[in-house]
Amino acid sequence: MSGDDKVPLLVIGKSGNATCFKNVKTLPVEYKNNTKAWMTGELFTSWLMKLDKQFHRQNRKMAMVIDNCPAHPKIKGIKSIGLVFVPPNTTSHTQLMDQGIIKNLKVHYRRQKSTGSY
């Protein structure tokens, strides 16, 4: 609840073998790809199941607040993550990511990337 415990960002790009990652051995993020570089139900489910296994091994529980969109399906079988769906048609009012956080994150990430300091 303090915000000190963070999971790596999930970055979705178009290319599975992006040339910009040619000599990169590790990334400070988790990278996945699909043709449109969009979150899909399959990507979300696999990412969430992996995170759930990690938390279950650590005997931790968490609640994840997510919006109602086709890329965020209801997933059965998760043990350590409770999914809390935002009511329909309230995303623009309640979702912080729509209030500039994504843009701010990208600005800071790109600035760190250009200076080489992660």
**64-111 pLDDT, tens per residue?**
888 888 899 989 999 999 998 888 777 666 655 556 777 777 787 777
Residue 94, pLDDT score: 63
**Domain total in the chain:** 1
More confident residue, 47 or 26: 47
Distance separating alpha carbons of residues 17 and 14, to the nearest angstrom: 9
Residue 23, pLDDT score: 83
What is the domain range of residue 54? 1-60
- In a domain? residue 102: no
Residue type at 81 in one-letter notation: I
- In a domain? residue 90: no
- In a domain? residue 93: no
- In a domain? residue 33: yes
Q: Answer yes or no: is pLDDT of 31 > 80.
A: yes
- In a domain? residue 68: no
For the stretch 33-57, pLDDT in tens is 888 999 999 999 999 999 999 999 9
64-102 CB burial, b ≥16 within 10 A, e <16:
eeebeeeebeeeeebebbeeeebeeeeeeeeeeeeeeee
